Amino acid sequence: MLKRIPIKQLSAGMFIHELCGSWYDHPFWRKAFMLDSSKILRDIMSTNIKEVWIDTGKGLDVESGGGGKSEEVVAAEVESALAQVKTGNKIARHTDITQEAVRAVKICDQSKQAVASMFQEVRMGKALNAGDALPIVEEISSSVTRNPGALISLARLKDKDSYTYMHSVAVCALMVALARQLGLSEEETRQAGLAGLMHDIGKTMTPLEIITKPGKLTDAEFHVVKSHPAEGHKLLLGSNGISDIVLHVCLHHHEKVDGSGYPDKLTHDEIGLYVKMCAVCDVYDAITSDRAYKNGWEPAESIRKMAEWSNGHFDQQIFHAFVKSIGIYPIGTLVKLMSDRLAVVIDQSDNSLLTPILMVFFSIKLNVRIPPEILDLSKSSCKDKIVSHEDPSKWNIQDTRELWSGLAAVPQADIPASSR
């Protein structure tokens, strides 16, 4: 029997079916586990979680008279909540970028920890359960729905040591944004996100010294790297609740429409929709991220490069939808204006990919920072326009993230260290 109880009633020997609340409020990536140590109990007590579901059929019950809400009681509460929602209350679909950035920082940090823990368990031979990964996908998807640019842009700013884990988070977010752009259903979007999260799980079998090697790989080392799709596919075949979509994406995300990819050299018509999606998302995040052997390209430059490759590498329709989902000038891009000023892209406009919303902050003529100004290039009253995208290092600009996200106003203690 399932019971919902306050955490003060928890004791060792209980089986936790689910922690009530957002998963990024706690350090556990599994939603169900046995409470078998005082350390785990202390960890739960130290979080923001107030209640949990326990399964009395798999572990101890609360003491007599302790109570806890039954499934029937909670079901009635849910029905009441749904009835209120049907009266017209709706979730905001586009949150201000600065508001979402604060939440996205927490999601990125907790997602990285969750994926690292999940991959480590797989590396140790433990079977993966798709249900354990779905909360991560759901939180990422919710953030992307509120404002796609915030989490996607933050996930791009990963450090070299956490690349493998944050790459999975970033590709998940990009897959969700692309799925929404393509008009896929909620379940299809969820599966696309899960496929993005799991696509590189085979790299858990790749020696760390190869993944982090700063120089060029030898032919033998590159052969090992190229085995990661097949290794990941094997791991997922032994897991629970993994769909064919996730399996195909894991095995074939390095295929190219011209047949030059691996492992099976599939061509355009042989590559499924979700694989084509992941091929684009995977490459974009890889080339915009700092790696052990190279620094990432700027977002706008990456889009330009991918457009040059698109005929052989990517499905054209999918690539165009991807560009529309993140913009020709993605959030965080530094641009030079016709007015001889520098600005950073803070959001996309609905009118044109060429007219994003900017934060203007630097005068080129005076070679000095100026008071920040929001500029919507899509408005008919705006006479300025983008001349080029710029490399921040050329101008010694080191705070583009703070400019577009507003995180400069957030106390440093509230920003997880791995995201600073």
Bridge partners of 16, per DSSP, are: 33, 54
Instruction: Answer yes or no: is pLDDT of 65 > 60.
Output: no
Mean pLDDT score, 393-399: 92
Domain spans in the chain, listed from the N-terminal domain onward: 2-85, 97-326, 334-419
Calculate the alpha carbon distances from 242 to 125, 171, 205, 270, 370 in Å: 17, 18, 19, 21, 52
Distance between CA atoms of residues 189 and 275, nearest Å: 13
Distance between CA atoms of residues 16 and 12, nearest Å: 10
What is the structure's pLDDT at 26?
A: 67
Q: What secondary structure, in 3-state letters, does the chain show?
A: CEEEEEHHHCCCCCEEEEECCCHHHCCCCCCCEECCCHHHHHHHHCCCCCEEEEECCCCCCCCCCCCCEEHHHHHHHHHHHHHHHCCCCCCCCCCCHHHHHHHHHHHHHHHHHHHHHHHHHHHCCCCCEHHHHHHHHHHHHHHHHHCHHHHHHHHHCCCHHHHHHHHHHHHHHHHHHHHHHCCCCHHHHHHHHHHHHHCCHHHHHCCHHHHCCCCCCCHHHHHHHCCHHHHHHHHHHCCECCCHHHHHHHHHCCCCCECCCCCCCCEHHHCCHHHHHHHHHHHHHHHHCCCCCCCCCCHHHHHHHHHHHHHHHCCHHHHHHHHHHHCCCCCCCEEEECCCEEEEEEECCCCCCCCCEEEEEEECCCCEEEEEEEEECCCCCCCCCEEEEECHHHHCCCCHHHHHHCHHHCCHHHCCHHHC
What is the structure's pLDDT at 408?
A: 46
pLDDT one-digit tens code per residue, 244-275: 999 999 999 999 999 999 999 999 999 999 99
Positive or negative: CA dihedral 366, 360, 308, 214 = positive
Distance between CA atoms of residues 148 and 67, nearest Å: 42
Copy the structure tokens of residue 415. Answer: 């920003």
Instruction: Answer yes or no: is pLDDT of 407 > 60.
Output: no
How far separated are the first and last CA of the chain, in Å rounded? 44
Mean pLDDT score, 199-205: 94
What is the structure's pLDDT at 122?
A: 87
Most confident of 4-18, 63-77, 301-315, 378-392: 378-392
What is the structure's pLDDT at 70?
A: 43
- Strands 15-19 and 51-55 turn out to be antiparallel
pLDDT one-digit tens code per residue, 308-352: 887 889 999 999 999 999 999 999 999 999 999 999 999 888 888
For domain 97-326, give its CATH number from 3.40.190.10, 3.40.50.150, 1.10.3210.10, 3.40.50.10490. Answer: 1.10.3210.10
What is the structure's pLDDT at 352?
A: 85
Distance between CA atoms of residues 111 and 119, nearest Å: 12
Calculate the alpha carbon distances from 264 to 244, 271, 278 in Å: 17, 10, 16
Instruction: Answer yes or no: is pLDDT of 85 > 50.
Output: no
Burial class, 108, CB count within 10 angstroms (exposed 0-12 / middle 13-18 / buried 19+): buried
What is the structure's pLDDT at 197?
A: 97
Distance between CA atoms of residues 333 and 328, nearest Å: 10
Instruction: Answer yes or no: is pLDDT of 410 > 70.
Output: no
What is the structure's pLDDT at 162?
A: 80
Contact 322, 336 (CB under 8 A): no
pLDDT one-digit tens code per residue, 118-139: 988 888 888 888 888 999 999 9
Of the candidate ranges 28-42, 266-280, 379-393, the one whose mean pLDDT is the lowest: 28-42
Instruction: Answer yes or no: is pLDDT of 219 > 80.
Output: yes
Q: pLDDT band at residue 233, thresholds of 50, 70 and 90?
A: very high
Copy the structure tokens of residue 122. Answer: 């797989």
Task: Give the up-direction half-sphere exposure of residue 416: CA atoms within 13 A in the CB hemisphere.
Answer: 19
Instruction: Answer yes or no: is pLDDT of 357 > 50.
Output: yes
Positive or negative: CA dihedral 200, 205, 210, 214 = positive
Of the candidate ranges 187-196, 259-268, 401-410, the one whose mean pLDDT is the lowest: 401-410
Distance between CA atoms of residues 133 and 112, nearest Å: 12
